[in-house]
Amino acid sequence: MRKNSAKNLRINGEVCRELSMIVRELKDPRIALMTTVTDAFVAPDLKTCKVYISVLGSEEEEARTMEGIESAKGYIRRELAMRLNLRNTPELTFIADRSIERGVMMSKKIDEVIKNDESCHTDENPAEI
Protein backbone atom coordinates (compact mmCIF):
# COMPACT_ATOMS: atom_id res chain seq x y z
CA MET A 1 0.00 0.00 0.00
CA ARG A 2 1.42 3.40 -0.96
CA LYS A 3 1.89 6.04 1.72
CA ASN A 4 -0.76 8.42 0.35
CA SER A 5 -3.15 5.90 -1.12
CA ALA A 6 -6.89 6.38 -0.71
CA LYS A 7 -7.04 3.42 1.66
CA ASN A 8 -4.26 4.79 3.87
CA LEU A 9 -5.87 8.25 3.99
CA ARG A 10 -9.20 6.66 4.97
CA ILE A 11 -7.51 4.62 7.72
CA ASN A 12 -5.74 7.74 9.01
CA GLY A 13 -9.05 9.58 9.24
CA GLU A 14 -10.84 6.73 11.03
CA VAL A 15 -7.99 6.22 13.49
CA CYS A 16 -7.89 9.96 14.22
CA ARG A 17 -11.66 10.10 14.79
CA GLU A 18 -11.69 7.06 17.09
CA LEU A 19 -8.64 8.21 19.05
CA SER A 20 -10.27 11.59 19.54
CA MET A 21 -13.33 9.95 21.07
CA ILE A 22 -11.22 7.61 23.22
CA VAL A 23 -9.10 10.48 24.60
CA ARG A 24 -12.26 12.45 25.45
CA GLU A 25 -13.56 9.45 27.41
CA LEU A 26 -10.41 9.02 29.52
CA LYS A 27 -10.99 9.71 33.20
CA ASP A 28 -7.38 10.47 34.15
CA PRO A 29 -7.27 13.77 36.13
CA ARG A 30 -3.91 14.63 34.54
CA ILE A 31 -5.49 14.98 31.11
CA ALA A 32 -6.65 18.55 30.42
CA LEU A 33 -10.22 19.17 29.30
CA MET A 34 -9.14 20.97 26.14
CA THR A 35 -7.15 18.06 24.66
CA THR A 36 -7.54 17.33 20.96
CA VAL A 37 -6.19 14.71 18.58
CA THR A 38 -5.18 16.86 15.63
CA ASP A 39 -3.88 14.15 13.32
CA ALA A 40 -2.88 10.50 13.08
CA PHE A 41 -0.53 8.96 10.53
CA VAL A 42 -0.65 5.18 10.26
CA ALA A 43 2.28 3.49 8.51
CA PRO A 44 1.38 1.65 5.29
CA ASP A 45 2.07 -1.71 6.98
CA LEU A 46 -0.34 -0.80 9.87
CA LYS A 47 2.38 -1.48 12.46
CA THR A 48 2.92 2.04 13.83
CA CYS A 49 0.94 5.24 14.18
CA LYS A 50 2.06 8.77 15.04
CA VAL A 51 -0.68 10.62 16.92
CA TYR A 52 -0.47 14.40 17.28
CA ILE A 53 -2.05 15.78 20.46
CA SER A 54 -2.87 19.46 21.00
CA VAL A 55 -3.48 20.79 24.51
CA LEU A 56 -4.95 24.22 25.05
CA GLY A 57 -3.33 25.55 28.21
CA SER A 58 0.03 26.07 29.85
CA GLU A 59 3.16 24.04 29.22
CA GLU A 60 2.69 22.38 32.60
CA GLU A 61 -0.82 21.24 31.62
CA GLU A 62 0.54 19.94 28.33
CA ALA A 63 3.28 17.96 30.08
CA ARG A 64 0.81 16.46 32.57
CA THR A 65 -1.61 15.60 29.76
CA MET A 66 1.08 13.88 27.71
CA GLU A 67 2.15 11.95 30.82
CA GLY A 68 -1.45 10.83 31.40
CA ILE A 69 -1.91 9.79 27.79
CA GLU A 70 1.39 7.87 27.81
CA SER A 71 0.30 5.96 30.91
CA ALA A 72 -3.01 5.06 29.22
CA LYS A 73 -1.34 3.98 25.95
CA GLY A 74 -2.20 0.28 26.42
CA TYR A 75 -5.84 1.04 27.20
CA ILE A 76 -6.10 3.41 24.22
CA ARG A 77 -4.63 0.80 21.87
CA ARG A 78 -6.99 -1.90 23.15
CA GLU A 79 -10.01 0.41 22.73
CA LEU A 80 -8.85 1.26 19.20
CA ALA A 81 -8.58 -2.46 18.38
CA MET A 82 -12.12 -3.07 19.64
CA ARG A 83 -13.59 -0.13 17.68
CA LEU A 84 -11.75 -0.60 14.38
CA ASN A 85 -11.54 -3.80 12.40
CA LEU A 86 -7.92 -3.66 11.24
CA ARG A 87 -5.62 -6.55 10.44
CA ASN A 88 -3.05 -5.11 12.88
CA THR A 89 -3.61 -2.59 15.62
CA PRO A 90 -0.77 -0.07 15.27
CA GLU A 91 1.66 0.74 18.06
CA LEU A 92 0.85 4.33 19.08
CA THR A 93 3.40 7.12 19.46
CA PHE A 94 2.02 10.35 20.94
CA ILE A 95 3.57 13.66 19.90
CA ALA A 96 2.70 17.09 21.33
CA ASP A 97 1.35 19.30 18.53
CA ARG A 98 2.03 23.00 19.01
CA SER A 99 0.91 24.14 15.55
CA ILE A 100 -2.25 25.86 16.84
CA GLU A 101 -0.22 27.74 19.44
CA ARG A 102 2.29 28.81 16.78
CA GLY A 103 -0.53 29.92 14.48
CA VAL A 104 -2.04 32.13 17.19
CA MET A 105 1.39 33.62 17.95
CA MET A 106 2.02 34.37 14.26
CA SER A 107 -1.43 35.94 13.93
CA LYS A 108 -0.67 38.26 16.88
CA LYS A 109 2.67 39.24 15.33
CA ILE A 110 1.00 40.00 11.99
CA ASP A 111 -1.61 42.14 13.76
CA GLU A 112 1.17 44.06 15.57
CA VAL A 113 3.02 44.72 12.31
CA ILE A 114 -0.17 45.94 10.61
CA LYS A 115 -0.95 48.22 13.57
CA ASN A 116 2.59 49.65 13.59
CA ASP A 117 2.51 50.10 9.81
CA GLU A 118 -0.82 51.96 9.95
CA SER A 119 0.39 54.23 12.76
CA CYS A 120 3.56 55.09 10.77
CA HIS A 121 1.53 55.99 7.65
CA THR A 122 -0.94 58.21 9.54
CA ASP A 123 1.91 60.06 11.31
CA GLU A 124 3.78 60.79 8.07
CA ASN A 125 1.01 62.36 5.99
CA PRO A 126 -1.64 63.98 8.22
CA ALA A 127 -2.38 66.79 5.67
CA GLU A 128 -3.08 64.44 2.72
CA ILE A 129 -6.02 62.73 4.39
CATH classification of the domain holding 52: 3.30.300.20
Q: Are residues 54 and 76 in the same domain?
A: yes
- Residue 50: helix, strand or coil by DSSP? strand
Q: How far is CA 69 from CA 9, 89, 90, in A?
A: 24, 17, 16
Residue 1 lies inside a defined structural domain of this protein? no
Domain that holds residue 121: 99-129
pLDDT tens, residue by residue, 5-59: 898 899 999 999 999 999 999 999 999 988 999 999 999 888 999 999 999 888 8
The 8-class DSSP code of residue 78 comes to H
